[in-house]
Amino acid sequence: MSSSVSSTDLFARAQRLIPGGVNSPVRAFRSVGGAPFFTRSAQGATLTTADGRELIDFVCTWGPAIHGHNHPRIREAITDALSRGTSFGTPNPYEVEMAELIASFFPSIEKVRMCSSGTEATMSAIRLARGFTGRDKIIKFAGCYHGHSDSLLVSAGSGALTHGHPDSAGVPAAFARETVVLPFNDPAALDAAFAANPGQIAAVILEPYIGNVGFIRAEPGYLAQVRALTQKHGAVLIFDEVMTGFRLARGGVQELENIVPDLTCLGKIIGGGLPVGAFGGRAEIMDKLAPLGPVYQAGTLSGNPLAMAAGIAQLRLLDELRPYARLDTLGRQLCAAALAAAKLKGIALQAPQCGSMFSLFFTERPVRDLPSAMSSDSALFKRFFHACLERGVYLPPSAYEAWFLSSAHEGDAIDRACDVVTTAISEL
């Protein structure tokens, strides 16, 4: 791979053959303007661009890099697995170790199935819930993004919202009709939806803390009410912890909030930077999956040995380093710096944060759902984004994405980022 080609040249070539020049829309800079940079390498908290710039990275490959980029222990694990082969198409020992590890991090998971992405995990969990209950309808929440399968691309967040297509073209109306969309943090709306669809709701799926309209926490007691209502109406409760699992706590938001969902979807961190997803939960439900039961789900690369080895190394590191309190301190530090700068400048700013995830919303309204997130001033965000990027700090190129921290941000990187964020806000 040539190291002397500029981002501008690469983007021109990419646009000729790759729609929009990117392989996932969230990487495009369309909502903030300008062209995306191309990354040549990544180490710790730093990305090195094709143009030789070094950027402090607050995207962390959209979540997985909790120990920073290119951690030596994860690299070693992949190298060791590589020496044995890249894919077997048979069961392999890593899968068993991974299943045992996942169950030890998430007590709600009695059985687990590996797949290759978060999208596969949520899509499969929905099918499983439908097969288990014999019902068709599902409930999701406005702004929650659960990957790009048909039933779930309705009022979706992330790139679908950023690029103005929260209800994607190409989703048959008949499919969308089976998805009931409700406001987040509103238990009365959920109660009413169950009353309006008696005996018809197979599952309620949510990001228990949303990471795809920016970062939004559930209000105190909300998740317990969701749990109680799903139990009362016999619907499967699915927590999409693809982003929050292993990141906000060892056992995700369900550990922080002491809630036991029926199924949990995982991804990102669990693959150590390689493509992995997983879904798991109550054995009674999971045993409906083929080959034991009638719900079909499969994948050539599911449980891939390289991905399993990387994920196992990453999870073992989490248990050794226990970084959660330190990550929370970093998150608080950055949000406090931003809030102080905004106050001084007289700019309204909200900074919801939990551990290593947070967002900066330029709005006076406390952010608790999609409408309040969308009240953020996107023109101001755009200027803020570029002011940070010019000074060497890369944050998600959308007002509707969460920032991610890693333990590699500790020390110099977080101090420099606080200075940059402070300066950028002061110059808005």
7 or 398, CB closer to ligand HOZ? 398
Helices (H), 109-163: 118-133, 158-162
165 or 326, CB closer to ligand HOZ? 165
Distance of CA 131 to the CA centre of its chain: 26
The residues assigned a catalytic role are: 145, 240, 268
Contact in structure between 380 and 338 (CB atoms under 8 Å): no
What track of x and - describes contact with ligand HOZ for positions 16 through 45 (by CB under 6 A)? Answer: --------x-x-------------------
Q: What is the DSSP string of 193-237?
A: HHHHSTTTEEEEEE-SSB-SSS-BPPPTTHHHHHHHHHHHHTPEE
CB of 427 to ligand HOZ, least distance (A): 28
Token readout for 111 is 């059985």
**178 binds ligand HOZ per the rule CB under 6 A:** no
Helix (H) or strand (E) holding 8: helix 7-17
Work out which of 401, 405, 410, 422 binds ligand HOZ, going by CB under 6 A: 401
192-221: contacts with ligand HOZ (CB under 6 A)? 212
Q: What is the rounded end-to-end Cα distance, in angstroms, of the chain?
A: 39
244 or 407, CB closer to ligand HOZ? 244
How many residues contact ligand HOZ, by CB under 6 A? Answer: 8
Work out which of 158, 179, 264, 376 binds ligand HOZ, going by CB under 6 A: 158
What track of x and - describes contact with ligand HOZ for positions 103 through 142 (by CB under 6 A)? Answer: ----------------------------------------
CB of 121 to ligand HOZ, least distance (A): 12
Distance of CA 294 to the CA centre of its chain: 30
68 or 267, CB closer to ligand HOZ? 267
3-state SS, one letter per residue, for 70-117: CCHHHHHHHHHHHCCCCCCCCCCHHHHHHHHHHHHHCCCCCEEEEECC
Q: How far is CA 370 from CA 160, 189, 391, in A?
A: 13, 14, 30
- Which residue sits closest to ligand HOZ, CB atoms considered? 24
What radius of gyration, in Å, describes the C-alpha atoms of the chain?
21
Separation of alpha carbons 1 and 4, rounded Å: 9
Separation of alpha carbons 130 and 294, rounded Å: 11
Work out which of 159, 214, 251, 352 binds ligand HOZ, going by CB under 6 A: 159
CB of 16 to ligand HOZ, least distance (A): 21
289 or 357, CB closer to ligand HOZ? 357
26 or 229, CB closer to ligand HOZ? 26
What track of x and - describes contact with ligand HOZ for positions 255 through 294 (by CB under 6 A)? Answer: ----------------------------------------
CB of 59 to ligand HOZ, least distance (A): 9
CB of 237 to ligand HOZ, least distance (A): 21
**58 binds ligand HOZ per the rule CB under 6 A:** no
Residues 6+ apart with CB under 8 A from 24: 159
**62 binds ligand HOZ per the rule CB under 6 A:** yes
**Bridge partner list, 179:** 138
Residues in contact with ligand HOZ by the rule CB under 6 A: 24, 26, 62, 145, 158-159, 212, 401
